[in-house]
Homo-oligomer: A and B are copies of this chain.
Amino acid sequence: MKIAIMGYGTVGSGVYEVLVTNAAGIATRAGEAITVERILDLREFPDHPEAHKFTKNVDDIINDKEIGLVVETMGGTEPAFTFACRAMKSGKSYVTSNKELVAAKGPELMALAEENGVSFLFEASVGGGIPIIMPLKECLAGNEISEIMGILNGTTNYILTQMFSCGASFADALAEAQKKGYAEANPDADVLGYDTCRKIAILTSLACGKHVDFSRIPTEGITGIDEIDVAFAESLRSSVKLVGYSSVKDGKAYCRVAPMVIPHDHPLYSVEDVFNAILVTGNAIGDCMFYGRGAGKLPTASAVVSDVIAATTGKISIPPTWKRTDEDVFADVSSSASRRMIRVSSDAAEDVKALFTCISSATTPKAPNEIAFTIDAVSEADFAEKAAKLGDKLIKSIYLA
């Protein structure tokens, strides 16, 4: 199998490295050798051992009839979408780590793959190296999936871990993450939750077999989490994680991206630093969790290469996993119920107890005029109404796992 890599950044070069390093084992498991024939990148790589394989012209790949599969690790919807369409129409399978592409154009690309008898695979688009797309699609296919909770972004999880373990402020933890190369110079896609949003949209689409439009998912990042939230969570033996959440019932999905308070006995509690984890609940399996490195050169390349091997061994022409539908896939948000941690002014304690079913409460020397309560599940509509009664006394609300 001769392949091309489009985009020779961190992940693309990792794919090359894994294919070279593990060549013998990969050839055994794929049933044939997998060799990189061309590499597309606008930059120059004169010192690369196979510098002659680089090209800046995508036609060199599309028109090469020897190339049976294209790996795309460029990111972004365009030109990836155009390239994907051209590659698959030319009879080449398409393997991508590009979550923007899958979240925006998944149904069209899966249909195109079926039409052309090729594979369109995207294990690396969610959870980096963690096997989650194939397990969710195939290994849990006997289940109706009712809930997905994912720590899906390593950058924000690193920042939150620093805020908890070192008492760092958000700004300091972000700066540290940037210094270590975990966060980009413009960290918005990570810290504002946009990255997690696309990933939970993909997982939810898989779970319900219908396209979930990421742009309609309420998305809140971690920029609003402060040291007082951290202190209250700690005194409740809990942590705070950015969670891509969805619950699915009767084919309708309720999705959100938001920080969540995670109690110490919850499986996601001990997922720290740049690790990711996805907790999936199905009606037969119950809870199961997938944990590992959600980003990085070689872990993400691991997922890409597994897709390359799967496409090579002949899992071609798979029917689309999900489709766009005319009916609205989103459930009525107002009726969905969630537990919460709320911070209120100290004089509101009695009001809170009258309005909500309280689970526990906490105080912290960092905010002597406040008290935090964990409260049992109430619907969004109910919460809004009761929150209005508390008025200014309600300082903040964070979802609770």
Task: Name A residues whose Cβ lies closer than 8 Å to a Cβ of B.
Answer: 14, 18-19, 21-22, 25-26, 28-31, 123, 129-131, 134-135, 138-144, 209, 267, 270, 282-293, 298-299, 301-306, 308-310, 313, 315, 318-319
Give the copy number.
Answer: 2
* A130 and B288 contact, Cβ closer than 8 Å, known pairs A135-B139, A141-B305, A141-B306: yes
A-B contact pairs, 15 of them (CB 8 A): A18-B143, A21-B283, A29-B209, A31-B319, A130-B285, A131-B131, A131-B139, A131-B288, A134-B135, A142-B303, A284-B299, A284-B302, A285-B299, A286-B293, A313-B318
Q: Which residues of B contact A292 (CB under 8 A)?
A: 285-289
Q: Does A25 contact B291, Cβ atoms closer than 8 Å?
A: no
B residues in contact with A299, CB < 8 Å: 284-286
User: Residue on B with the closest CB to A135?
Assistant: B131
B286 touches A141 (CB 8 A): no
Collect the chain B residues with CB atoms within 8 Å of residue A306's CB: 138-142
Contact B302 A293 (CB under 8 A): no
Contact residues in B for A293 (Cβ distance below 8 Å): 285-288
In contact, B140 and A302 (Cβ under 8 angstroms): yes
Q: Which residues does chain B contribute within 8 Å of A25, judged by CB atoms?
A: 144
Which residues of the partner chain B approach A30 to less than 8 Å between Cβ atoms? 141
Task: Please give 8 more A-B residue pairs, beta carbons under 8 A apart, in addition to A29-B209, A130-B288.
Answer: A14-B284, A129-B286, A131-B139, A267-B291, A270-B270, A286-B293, A288-B290, A315-B315
Are A28 and B209 neighbours in the complex by a CB distance under 8 Å? yes
Q: How far is the CA of A25 from the CA of B250 in the complex (A)?
A: 11
Bound-state Cα–Cα, A347 to B254, Å:
63
- Is A284 a contact of B298 with CB atoms below 8 Å? yes
Contact A310 B22 (CB under 8 A): no
Is B315 touching A18 in the complex (CB atoms < 8 A)? no
Q: A131-B140, A134-B134 are in contact. Are A302 and B282 (CB under 8 A)?
A: yes
Q: Closest Cβ of chain B: how far from A146's Cβ, in Å?
A: 12
**Residues of B contacting A287 in the complex (Cβ-Cβ under 8 angstroms):** 292-293
Most buried by B among A141, A209, A310: A141
Q: Are A138 and B286 in contact (CB under 8 A)?
A: no
Is there contact, CB below 8 Å, between B18 and A129? no
A142 close to B309 (CB less than 8 A): yes
The reply to whether B284 and A18 form a contact with Cβ atoms under 8 Å apart is yes
Query: What distance in Å separates the Cβ of A287 from its nearest Cβ neighbour in chain B?
Result: 6
A142 touches B301 (CB 8 A): yes
In the complex, which of the residues B134, B301, B308 contacts A139, with contact meaning CB atoms closer than 8 Å?
A: B134
Our pick among B26, B31, B141 for the contact of A142 (Cβ within 8 Å) is: B26
